[in-house]
């Protein structure tokens, strides 16, 4: 009884916060409803949350138990307090150990988490190695914009530790959500609370990932549209892209921008000359093509990461300290020095450009506050809870029913 009381106190405290994080603009609400996803009617559930002020009225709704809930109001504070009280500590110490061994794990896991939540919600679908036991079907992690995702082994490592401590209890989706938060914090980013109780999907979503993961050559219109379909407004989108403060970008993602922009055979004319030369030096022409053909020949001994040797370090990662999560991403955009076309596009739309300037113009506190809020919102996106989904034993395999 006491536990349930606690749960409702926490829910009562959190619902107003969560509602305040919701996009108040009607525009994206209507866009959400046109989302061509099989579960699109779940949005009505989210909208009804506006009306009742008492949190206890939402679980009484029928669809509560069947639909993914967009705003995470069905998640719980410290969900594992009885079933695996050490879960969050275990994750934090594993993440800390991994981070000090491989600092580049932080951007890898942050990106993995973004890709997971963006496609059918934070349900660990991106971690699956097959789709419903059908190894012939393509899976999310093979979808084109996904191809260079890394860090799966780190999540497996953490999962193994938790399986030893509390077998079959902690979902891969929760592990990924908490690990992403802990990595962000270690990398110098802001701390934000992560609720728990996510369940894992039993399937992977290849077509959706191919279609809906933003692409590096997307214009700002498409980028904003993809994010608004998930309830993120312009401000939230611009702050979320601040994830590009850390990590590295494979040259293949900017080849076309440097050498054959929109089929012109030329570089993107908006890139400042000195920056263009610097990027070309890091990413020589035809590099990936050459490597790709080598790949065909030496497929057997060459693992995927060996093929892609040329990386352009995001300009931050030269700074080894925790200072990477500052405003340099936005300052680069102001100077026309964004790495991806999609990054720089934020400057070509009045509203997003204003936001970039705003983030770049103080000590970073506006960005950090917004980034914490938007990560909290991302973490709650379309989660499965209760009897939905499952808890995987191995993050790359669904539990067969």
Ligand X SMILES: *[C@@H]1O[C@H](CO)[C@@H](O)[C@H](O)[C@H]1NC(C)=O
Chain contacts with ligand X (rule: CB under 6 A): 129, 132, 134-136, 144, 147, 160, 202-203, 219, 221-222, 252, 285-286, 394, 396-397, 401
From 68, 111, 198, 368, residue interacting with ligand HEM (rule: CB under 6 A):
111
Between CA 198 and CA 175 the distance in angstroms is: 9
Which CB atom, from 184 or from 333, has the smaller least distance to ligand X? 333
Closest CA to 109 of 210, 164, 187: 187
The answer to whether residues 321 and 250 touch, using CB atoms and an 8 Å cutoff, is no
The DSSP call for residue 341 is: H
Which CB atom, from 125 or from 327, has the smaller least distance to ligand X? 125
Closest CA to 324 of 243, 237, 241: 243
3-state secondary structure (DSSP) of residue 66: coil
Return the one option of ligand HEM, ligand X, none that residue 3 interacts with (CB less than 5 to 8 A, by type): none
CA angle (302, 289, 339) in 5-degree steps: 100
Encoding tokens for residue 319?
């700074």
**In the complex, minimum distance from the CB of residue 308 to ligand HEM, in angstroms, rounded to a whole number:** 7
Which CB atom, from 305 or from 401, has the smaller least distance to ligand HEM? 305
Between CA 121 and CA 313 the distance in angstroms is: 29
Q: Which residues contact 242 (CB under 8 A, 6 or more apart)?
A: 325, 329, 330, 359, 367, 371
Per the rule left: phi > 0, alpha: psi between -120 and 50, beta: everything else, 353 is: alpha
How many CA within 13 A on the CB side of residue 56? 5
From 250, 261, 270, 322, residue interacting with ligand HEM (rule: CB under 6 A):
250
Per-residue contact flags (x/-) with ligand HEM for residues 191 to 230, judged by CB under 6 A: -----------------------xxx-x----x-------
Return the one option of ligand X, ligand HEM, none that residue 132 interacts with (CB less than 5 to 8 A, by type): ligand X
Between CA 203 and CA 181 the distance in angstroms is: 24
Return the one option of ligand X, ligand HEM, none that residue 221 interacts with (CB less than 5 to 8 A, by type): ligand X
Concatenating the DSSP letter of every residue in 154-220 gives: HHHHHHHHHHHHSTTTS-HHHHHHHHHHHHHHHTT-------B--BB-SS--HHHHHHHS--TT--H
**In the complex, minimum distance from the CB of residue 182 to ligand X, in angstroms, rounded to a whole number:** 21
**In the complex, minimum distance from the CB of residue 243 to ligand HEM, in angstroms, rounded to a whole number:** 3
Encoding tokens for residue 271?
């890139």
From 247, 338, 364, 389, residue interacting with ligand HEM (rule: CB under 6 A):
247
Told to check if 240 binds ligand HEM by CB under 6 A, we report: yes
Per-residue contact flags (x/-) with ligand HEM for residues 139 to 168, judged by CB under 6 A: ---------x-x------------------
Q: Out of 39, 41, 50, 115, pick the active-site residue.
A: 115
Question: What is Dmax (Cα atoms) for the chain?
Answer: 69
Closest CA to 202 of 146, 148, 123: 123
Return the one option of ligand X, ligand HEM, none that residue 248 interacts with (CB less than 5 to 8 A, by type): ligand HEM
From 72, 107, 338, 364, residue interacting with ligand HEM (rule: CB under 6 A):
107
Is 115 annotated as catalytic? yes
3-state secondary structure (DSSP) of residue 319: coil
Which CB atom, from 215 or from 280, has the smaller least distance to ligand HEM? 215
Which CB atom, from 276 or from 358, has the smaller least distance to ligand X? 276
3-state secondary structure (DSSP) of residue 131: strand
**In the complex, minimum distance from the CB of residue 104 to ligand X, in angstroms, rounded to a whole number:** 18
CA 175 to chain centre: 14
Told to check if 179 binds ligand HEM by CB under 6 A, we report: no
**In the complex, minimum distance from the CB of residue 99 to ligand HEM, in angstroms, rounded to a whole number:** 13
**In the complex, minimum distance from the CB of residue 114 to ligand HEM, in angstroms, rounded to a whole number:** 4
Mutual angle of helices 26-33 and 220-228, in 10-degree steps: 80
Closest CA to 233 of 110, 356, 112, 352: 352
- Binding window for ligand HEM (CB under 6 A); candidates: 247-255, 261-269, 321-329, 383-391: 247-255
**In the complex, minimum distance from the CB of residue 26 to ligand X, in angstroms, rounded to a whole number:** 23
Return the one option of ligand HEM, ligand X, none that residue 129 interacts with (CB less than 5 to 8 A, by type): ligand X
Point out the residues that are catalytic.
115
The site for ligand HEM (CB under 6 A) is made up of 104, 107-108, 110-111, 114, 148, 150, 214-216, 218, 223, 240-241, 243-244, 246-250, 253, 340, 342
């Amino acid at each position: 009884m006491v536990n349930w009381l606690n749960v409702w106190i926490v829910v009562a405290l959190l619902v107003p916060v969560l509602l305040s994080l919701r996009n108040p603009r009607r525009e994206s609400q209507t866009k959400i409803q046109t989302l061509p996803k099989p579960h699109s009617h779940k949005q009505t559930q989210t909208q009804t949350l506006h009306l009742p002020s008492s949190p206890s009225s939402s679980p009484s709704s029928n669809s509560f138990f069947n639909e993914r809930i967009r705003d995470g109001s069905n998640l719980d504070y410290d969900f594992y307090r009885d079933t695996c009280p050490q879960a969050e500590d275990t994750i934090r110490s594993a993440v800390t150990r991994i981070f000090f061994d491989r600092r580049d794990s932080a951007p890898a896991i942050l990106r993995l988490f973004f890709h997971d939540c963006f496609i059918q919600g934070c349900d660990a679908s991106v971690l699956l190695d097959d789709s419903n036991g059908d190894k012939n079907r393509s899976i999310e992690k093979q979808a084109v914009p996904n191809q260079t995702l890394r860090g799966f082994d780190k999540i497996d490592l953490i999962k193994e530790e938790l399986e030893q401590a509390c077998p079959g209890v902690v979902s891969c989706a929760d592990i990924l959500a908490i690990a992403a938060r802990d990595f962000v914090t270690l990398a110098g980013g802001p701390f934000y609370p992560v609720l728990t109780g996510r369940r894992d999907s039993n399937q992977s979503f290849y077509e959706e990932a191919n279609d809906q993961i933003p692409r590096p050559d997307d214009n700002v219109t498409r980028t904003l549209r993809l994010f608004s379909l998930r309830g993120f407004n312009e401000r939230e989108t611009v702050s979320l892209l601040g994830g590009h403060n850390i990590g590295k970008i494979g040259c293949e993602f900017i080849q076309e921008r440097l050498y054959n922009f929109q089929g012109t055979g030329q570089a993107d004319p908006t890139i400042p000359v000195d920056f263009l030369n610097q990027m070309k030096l890091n990413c020589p022409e035809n590099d990936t093509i050459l490597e790709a053909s080598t790949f065909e020949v030496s497929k057997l001994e060459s693992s995927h990461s060996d093929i892609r040797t040329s990386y352009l370090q995001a300009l931050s990662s030269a700074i080894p300290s925790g200072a990477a999560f500052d405003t340099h991403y936005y300052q680069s955009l102001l100077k026309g020095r964004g790495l991806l076309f999609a990054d720089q596009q934020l400057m070509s739309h009045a509203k997003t450009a204003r936001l970039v300037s705003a983030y770049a113009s103080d000590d970073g506190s506006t960005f950090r506050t917004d980034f914490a809020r938007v990560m909290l919102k991302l973490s709650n996106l379309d989660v499965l809870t209760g009897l939905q989904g499952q808890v995987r034993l191995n993050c790359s395999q669904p539990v067969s029913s």
